[in-house]
A and B are shown apart, each in its own frame.
Chain A
C-alpha cells in the first residue's frame, strides 16, 4: 500500500557508498510515496537539519519525517547527531532509526537512551526497510 498525498521525507545519513546503494535499492523496491535525501556524514546531517551550506534551500531540502542514521562515521558520528537532536527536542517530530554494523549491546543501549526509535543491524534488509517505510504514518 503506497502513501497518497504529501510524500514522506526520508533522510539517510551514511558514509559508506555501498550501504547508500543498498538502502537506495531497498527504498526504490519499497515503492512508497516518499522522497530520499542523503547526508554523507554527521556534519552534513546537522547542516541539512539547519538548512546550512548546500542544504540552505529549505524548499529543496525539507525537514525529514524519518532519519536512517549510521553510527560509525567520520567527522561527527551517529551518537553526536542523536545527542544534538535530543538537546533541541527534535526527536518528537522526527523519527530516528539507527542503521549500524555494530551488534554491541552497549551501542544499542546508548542509542535507546539518546531517544532512537529503532535499531537495525546491517546488512540492510530490503524487506525490513520496505516494511518500516510503509508502516510509517
Chain B
C-alpha cells in the first residue's frame, strides 16, 4: 500500500511542528531588525519565557548580555549571509539559562550554537539560531580533563618513571621524571625512543620481555640500566600492567620504573663477596681434604711401621730370651754360677726390651686407633681382664667388685687396656710379702661416672702424683719395681681419646686410689 499523497504544504507544516514542538534543541528566528519572530518549546521550557512574551521583541532586550559579550556580531554576520558557529569553549553559552545537569560544575547551561541567515526566495529575511545543550558532555569532559590533570601532576611529582603504552607496546606517555633522569629532550622517549638510553646489554632482553608480555598479556617486569644525563648507568626495575576492555582485550599498558641502583649495587657486591666466600670455602675444603688425606697416609705409615716393629723387632728379642731360657732350663748343670747370673741378666734385659717395645706399640695404637664410643658393661670387662692374667687371680691377688658398676660410654679395647694397666700396677706396687687387695667400684659424679680402683699398695708422695701419667715417668726405681714407665701414659691417652679424665689420690704407705671418669651409658 502506498503512503497517502502529501502536499508540500503538509510537509512544511510537519517540519514546523517538529522544530517547534518536539526538537531537542532551542530554535529561534529573528527578522532583519533582529526582533524575535519564533521561539520554540524547548526554549520556553529552559528559559521560562513563553513565546508570547518574546516574539516581536528585539533580541537584545531579551538577552541584554549579548552586546557586552560581543555576540551581536554573529547575528549581523548571519544577516550578511554567513553561517556562524558559537563555540562553547570560547563563550560558554549563547542564552543565559540555568544549568540542566545534576552536576554543579557549571552555573549556566553550556551551549553551542549555529547562527545562520534565514532565506526567503534567495533573500535574507532574518536569522535562524539553533542552540544545543552541551552541559552534560562538558561535565564529562571536564571530569576527564581534571582526572588527566591530576594524573599528570601525580606522574610528574612521583620519584618513579611513569609511562603508558598502546596495546602494541609503543609508549604514548612518559613522565617528566624520565627526562630529568635521562636528560633527553621532551617527547623523545615516546614510541620506542626510550630504548636509546637503555644499556646495550639490557636492551635486547627488554625488547624480548616486552614482546613476550604483549603476546601473552602478562605483566611486564624486568631490571635494566638507564643511562643518566651524566652518562652513568643506573639500575631500574620496571613493571607494566595491562589495562583490558570489556572483551578482555589489552587496550593499554600502565607502567612504572623505580631506581634500585643503590640496592642493586649492594646486591651485586654482596653476590660477589658471597662468590668469593664460596670460592674460599671451596679452597679450604680442598685443603682440609688434602691435609686429611696426607694425615691418613701418615697414620697408615705409622700403623704399618708399628706392625713391622711388633713382628720383626720383637722376634729377635724373643729369640734372645728363648735361647737364654733354654740354657737356663735345660743346660743349667753345665753352667757355673757367674754364667747363670749373666744368662739371667740377658733374659731379664730381653724381657724388659720386649715389654718396652710392646708398651710403646700399645701407646701408639691407643693414640692412632679410631675411637667410636659404645655402651660398655664395666663389670664384664673387669672379669675379662682378670681372667687373662694369672697375677690378677687368687692366690696371687684379691680383686673385689662393689656392685653394681655403672655402664659407661667407652671404646671396649681402650677401656680394657686402661683397667688392665691399672690392675697390673695395683698388684705390682705392694710391699714385699703383702697380698694385693684391690677394690673396684663406681659412683655417679655430676653427669659422669667415676670408676675407682683402690689398692693396699705402697702409695706415693703428693709431689709425684701429677707427673705419673706422663710417658716414661716412674714413681719408683726400676730395680725395685720393674716396669716400662708407659703403662699410666697409655691409661691417660686412652681415657683422653674417649673424652674422659683420670687421676689418683694417694699417700705413702696407705695405698692408692686411681680413678677413670667417663660419660654414663644411657639407660636401656
Contact = CB atoms under 8 A, between A and B. Distances in A.
A109 to B, nearest CB: 11
A129 to B, nearest CB: 12
A102 B307 CA distance: 8
Given A25-B326, A105-B413, A18 B319 contact: yes
B319 A101 contact: no
B315 interface: yes
B413 A18 contact: no
A98 to B, nearest CB: 14
A22 B310 contact: no
Interface in B307-323: 310-311, 314-316, 318-319, 321-323
A16 B314 CA distance: 12
A25 B322 CA distance: 10
A18 B322 contact: yes
A123 B322 contact: yes
A102 B315 contact: no
Contact of A18 (B311, B315, B329, B358): B315
Contacts of B330: 29
Nearest to A18: B319
Given A18-B316, A105-B413, A124 B322 contact: yes
Contacts of A29: 330
Interface residues of A, number: 17
A52 interface: no
Contacts, number: 36
Contacts of B311: 72, 101-102
* Chain B, interface SS category: helix
A19 B319 CA distance: 7
Contact of A101 (B318, B321, B326, B413): B318
A101 B319 CA distance: 12
Interface in A96-117: 101-105
Contacts of A105: 413
Contacts of A122: 314-315, 318
B413 to A, nearest CB: 6
A123 B321 contact: yes
A101 B314 CA distance: 8
A105 B311 CA distance: 15
Interface residues of B, number: 15
Nearest to A100: B311
Contacts of B358: 103
A3 to B, nearest CB: 23
Contacts of A22: 319, 322, 326
Contacts of B323: 18
Contacts of A104: 310
A72 B313 CA distance: 13
Given A101-B310, A105-B413, A19 B315 contact: yes
A101 B310 CA distance: 7
A92 to B, nearest CB: 29
Contacts of B319: 16, 18-19, 22
A126 B326 CA distance: 10
A19 B323 CA distance: 10
Contacts of A123: 318, 321-322
Nearest to B317: A123
B81 to A, nearest CB: 130
Interface string A10-48: 000000101101100100010000000000000000000
Interface in B353-384: 358
Contacts of A25: 326
B322 A16 contact: no
Contacts of B315: 16, 18-19, 101, 122
B493 to A, nearest CB: 18
B378 to A, nearest CB: 18
B221 to A, nearest CB: 66
A123 B320 CA distance: 11
Contacts of A102: 310-311
A121 B315 CA distance: 12
Nearest to A17: B319
Interface in B293-336: 310-311, 314-316, 318-319, 321-323, 326, 329-330
Contacts of B318: 18-19, 101, 122-123
A13 to B, nearest CB: 16
Nearest to A123: B318
A67 B192 CA distance: 99
B302 to A, nearest CB: 15
A21 B326 CA distance: 11
Q: Ordered nearest first, which 9 A-B pairs have the shortest CB separation?
A: A18-B319, A123-B318, A22-B322, A72-B311, A101-B311, A101-B314, A123-B322, A122-B318, A16-B315
17 contacts: A16-B315, A16-B319, A18-B316, A18-B318, A18-B319, A18-B323, A19-B315, A19-B318, A22-B322, A29-B330, A104-B310, A105-B413, A122-B314, A122-B315, A122-B318, A124-B322, A126-B329
Interface of B: 310-311, 314-316, 318-319, 321-323, 326, 329-330, 358, 413
Given A19-B319, A103-B358, 19 more contacts: A18-B316, A18-B318, A18-B319, A18-B322, A18-B323, A19-B315, A19-B318, A22-B326, A72-B311, A101-B310, A101-B311, A101-B314, A101-B315, A101-B318, A102-B310, A102-B311, A105-B413, A122-B314, A126-B329
